[in-house]
Amino acid sequence: MKGKGIAVIFLLLFYAFPATAFEYYIHGTGKIIDDPQQAVSPKIQEIPVTYVVGPDSEGYLYGVEYKKLRHERRKILKSRDGIVWELIYEHRTEIKSLYLWKGILFFSDANGSVFMKNGEEFEEVLRLDKGKYAIWWSWAGNEEFLLIGEYGTKSNSAKVYRSFDGRHFEVFFDIKDHYNVKDDGCHIHLVSIDPYDGTVYIGVGDNPPYRGLYIYKNGRWMFRNTNNHILNTIMNSGPLAATYDEKRVLFYSDNFPQIVEYNKEKDELKPLAAWFGEYYKGEMKFYDALKDPKTGVHYAVSVDYKKRGLHYLWISLDGVTWRKIGNGAINGTHVLYPLHIAGEYLYMNNLRMKLFTREEALKLIYKETKPPISLTLLEDCPIVIYLKNEKPLEVIVKGKKFRNYLSPNLAWTPVNGTLEKQEEFLIFTTLSPSAVLKLKLPLEKGWYTLGLCMKSSRSWNEIAPVRVAVRTKERIYGGLAQVSTEWRPFYYVFNMPEDGTAEIAIEFNGSAVYQIGCLFLSHDLSTSKPNGEFLKGESYSKNVTLRIDGKIYPIGDLRPGEKRTIRVEKLQTLELLSGGAVDLLITESSKEEKENLNSIPLPILATVAFLAFAYLLKRLKQ
């Protein structure tokens, strides 16, 4: 009897002070898991081709013979099983890409010619402008039409062509209809069609102010410059890849390792995940991405221009948390792009890999395939999850505290300039080329993400970049910010090695009037815009509403640590419709005794546990 009483007391202690959730190194926006220990080993095979497309109506895959030297990639091969390949055509010059539209095979060569398969031969159907050609991100098609974009040499011109039959083409998009480019810095980065609603997304690079997204919907164009939205965009040279959900599009950035989410209903762009540290220094970028329609797993491949071994495969279930895959041939040095899904395989450059099941992806990202699972759910970032459960599930929703450490009203100190404070902005006028705006903040130990938006009275090509620096006891963090006449947001990450003071210094290198807003500093995985409003000071999970497998659960306000329990039989999709962010613990329903314990509020449970522990000590002394 005494032993049973002690067991109950220890059970009380366990539920009063539950184990912490899984923790990963937070690089900044989102979560990046780069632990070399992998719970599942990828099944990889070497294949003799790259640029894989298909299968066609006869079951054939097509690829270009892999050669390390790209100018030697001239042969087109076909295969039924992805292992044995046979030659069907040899071209006179380098083949840049293949595309299969309505069962017809097309390719683009290095000279800018586009060919269509006609019987056993290929006929030229389109000639792109001088120096232009099409690569894997230049093609898109649906049941109605085919699109081909001009990549290659940067110039003052960039077009996307459309065809309804594969032989006759018209200009569908011309940058000249949207912006008068004069700096010879333009070409088409991305051509993509939303499989859910048919919207066309054109990504244009490289230089501001014309780079960004051109969206064709309901017969009209919309321009979303990825550098000038006051709250929700990032600096990049235009997206190179896209994956789709019903409500959003994930865009994978050039020249900066970041993923941007476009909310179709809200017409809103915002950063979703960012890679800092070695990835940022190595100028990692994403050259291709796909989503497995059967499992909901997002795949992306990274590349670096500084040759630091950052060629990796990344997977995610929600676009927020990303897991690096590195094993065998995927070792950081082998180029992996482009990607293609066919059957049960992910085809890459000279490789193919068995696609991960939901269960395997879950194990790789969260280290578990069955409850308990802990995760943080962000507003408007749905996650596809697959759990093996024998009993009904309990989804314990826990409120989070949000804190933005910055505001215009703090003790900002101007040096060689004048400062005017407004409700949401700082206006700083430089008086010399070495003007600085400083702020000292007491902060606790940990990693922090710093965000701010800036614009100036002079264009980006008239003034030098601003330098943002964060000085801690350990080192100086930060980087350059190319400011211009439109709003541009910038994000940085830094570490406080211990409790102490951090100094933020914004160093200006030109004579201008600068506006600084959207000031955000946080050390937790949450959001800068809970319930659509920019976070000022402290807040928490308010008006929490979840959607689980299509069913909506209105919960209301959850103060930090406060919990609500939702019971479900199965679970596949989770989405936080409002509330900013919440922590989730997914468990199987326990026995009646444990269920009663779970229903007791945590403060009361802790008190009971403390009294029980005191009683236990008293009994042991007797």
Tokens of 598: 């779970």
As a whole number of angstroms, the distance between CA 284 and CA 305 comes to: 7
DSSP code at position 383: E
Using alpha carbons, list the distances in angstroms from residue 533 to 228, 405, 409, 423. 19, 16, 18, 15
Q: Are 428 and 415 in contact (CB under 8 A)?
A: no
Q: Are 324 and 338 in contact (CB under 8 A)?
A: no
The pTM assigned to this predicted structure is: 0.75
Average of pLDDT values for 353-381?
Answer: 85
Please determine, for residue 414, whether its predicted confidence score (pLDDT) is greater than 60.
yes
Residue 613 has what pLDDT? 46
As a whole number of angstroms, the distance between CA 479 and CA 489 comes to: 13
Please determine, for residue 137, whether its predicted confidence score (pLDDT) is greater than 60.
yes
Domain boundaries, the chain: 403-522
Residue 508 has what pLDDT? 94
Give me the architecture of the 403-522 domain, per CATH: Sandwich (2.60)
As a whole number of angstroms, the distance between CA 514 and CA 250 comes to: 31
Residue predicted with more confidence, 351 or 606: 351
As a whole number of angstroms, the distance between CA 339 and CA 83 comes to: 17
Residue predicted with more confidence, 197 or 271: 197
Tokens of 327: 């094993």
As a whole number of angstroms, the distance between CA 453 and CA 467 comes to: 13
What ranges in 367-491 are assigned the alpha helix state H?
none
Please give the angle made by the CA atoms of 143, 149 and 154, to the nearest 5 degrees.
Answer: 175
As a whole number of angstroms, the distance between CA 386 and CA 572 comes to: 5
Residue 363 has what pLDDT? 87
Highest mean pLDDT among 152-156, 462-466, 555-559: 555-559
User: Taking each helix axis from N to C terminus, what angle separates 2-16 and 602-621, rounded to the nearest 10 degrees?
Assistant: 150
Please determine, for residue 143, whether its predicted confidence score (pLDDT) is greater than 90.
yes
Average of pLDDT values for 601-620?
Answer: 47
Residue 36's pLDDT band, with cuts at 50, 70 and 90, is: confident
**SS3 label, residue 177:** helix
Average of pLDDT values for 245-265?
Answer: 85
Please determine, for residue 539, whether its predicted confidence score (pLDDT) is greater than 50.
yes
How are the residues of the chain apportioned to helix, strand and coil, as percentages rounded to the nearest 5? 10, 45, 40
Contacts of residue 433, defined as CB under 8 A and 6 or more positions apart, other chains included, come to 508, 509, 510, 511
Please determine, for residue 5, whether its predicted confidence score (pLDDT) is greater than 50.
no
Residue 602 has what pLDDT? 42
Residue range 554-599, pLDDT digits in tens:
999 999 999 999 999 888 888 899 999 999 999 988 654 343 333 3
Residue 618 has what pLDDT? 52
Please determine, for residue 122, whether its predicted confidence score (pLDDT) is greater than 90.
yes
Please determine, for residue 174, whether its predicted confidence score (pLDDT) is greater than 80.
yes
Residue 225's pLDDT band, with cuts at 50, 70 and 90, is: low
Type of residue numbered 391: K
Please determine, for residue 276, whether its predicted confidence score (pLDDT) is greater than 60.
yes
Residue 336 has what pLDDT? 94
Residue 29 has what pLDDT? 61
**SS3 label, residue 349:** coil
Mean pLDDT over all residues of the chain?
84
Average of pLDDT values for 241-253?
Answer: 91
Highest mean pLDDT among 1-15, 70-84, 170-184, 449-463: 70-84
Average of pLDDT values for 433-462?
Answer: 89
Residue 488 has what pLDDT? 76
